[in-house]
């Protein structure tokens, strides 16, 4: 928290959590009103850069229940989660399971997961549509499909969308 003014929770009312501040979510953050979102990274240096831009940024590791639970506790106004964090190499669904558990105890209304067309397992150039069944072949496609499945267990709790 060094170098950053601490605001009371009432002064911060972000509705959107950008989980994993890679290229795509940084581009999205540039289009959102300042103060309307929290963006995360495992890198404290990256978070410091974002805070200097006026963004609310938190250093979080999604494989840490303490980090994830603190994030949801500190920002009770969150209503939307957009997750772009890639699956963990060793324990594919560990991070999304931790996030899903935190969502169950929150006011989240919508969860958007940035997945991949690799979940379809189609590599012959044929057309893929909403009705194409998932048969992932690659390790990455299989991992993303497993993560989608964990998040879909929340469908009775909130709207769950997988973008492929």
Nearest to 23 by CA among 46, 3, 7: 46
Q: Are 41 and 33 spatial neighbours (Cβ–Cβ below 8 Å)?
A: no
Q: Are 131 and 77 spatial neighbours (Cβ–Cβ below 8 Å)?
A: no
Nearest to 153 by CA among 79, 88, 97: 97
Tokens linked to 36: 């309307």
Spatial distance between the Cα atoms of 87 and 48, rounded to a whole number of angstroms: 25
Predicted local distance difference test score (pLDDT) of residue 12? 65
Spatial distance between the Cα atoms of 15 and 81, rounded to a whole number of angstroms: 9
pLDDT tens-digit profile of 69-97? 999 999 999 999 999 999 988 889 999 99
Predicted local distance difference test score (pLDDT) of residue 135? 94
Predicted local distance difference test score (pLDDT) of residue 90? 83
Instruction: Phi first, then psi: give them for residue 40, nearest 5 degrees.
Output: -125, 155
Q: For residue 38, what are the β-bridge partners?
A: 17, 56
pLDDT tens-digit profile of 2-56? 444 444 444 569 999 999 999 999 999 999 999 999 999 999 999 999 999 999 9
8 versus 126: the higher-pLDDT residue is 126
């Amino acid at each position: 928290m060094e170098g950053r003014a601490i605001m009371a929770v009432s002064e911060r009312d972000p509705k959107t959590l950008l989980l994993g501040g890679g290229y795509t979510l940084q581009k999205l953050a540039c289009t959102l009103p300042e103060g309307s979102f929290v963006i995360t990274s495992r890198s404290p240096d990256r978070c410091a850069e974002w805070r200097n831009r006026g963004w609310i940024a938190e250093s979080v590791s999604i494989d840490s229940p303490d980090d994830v639970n603190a994030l949801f506790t500190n920002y009770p106004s969150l209503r939307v989660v957009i997750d772009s964090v890639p699956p963990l190499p060793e324990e594919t669904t560990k991070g999304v399971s931790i996030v899903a558990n935190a969502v169950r105890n929150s006011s989240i209304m919508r969860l958007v997961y940035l997945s991949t067309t690799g979940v379809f397992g189609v590599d012959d150039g044929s057309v893929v549509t909403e009705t194409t069944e998932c048969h992932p072949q690659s390790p990455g496609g299989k991992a993303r499909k497993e993560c989608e499945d964990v998040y879909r267990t929340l469908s009775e709790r909130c709207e769950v969308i997988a973008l492929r």
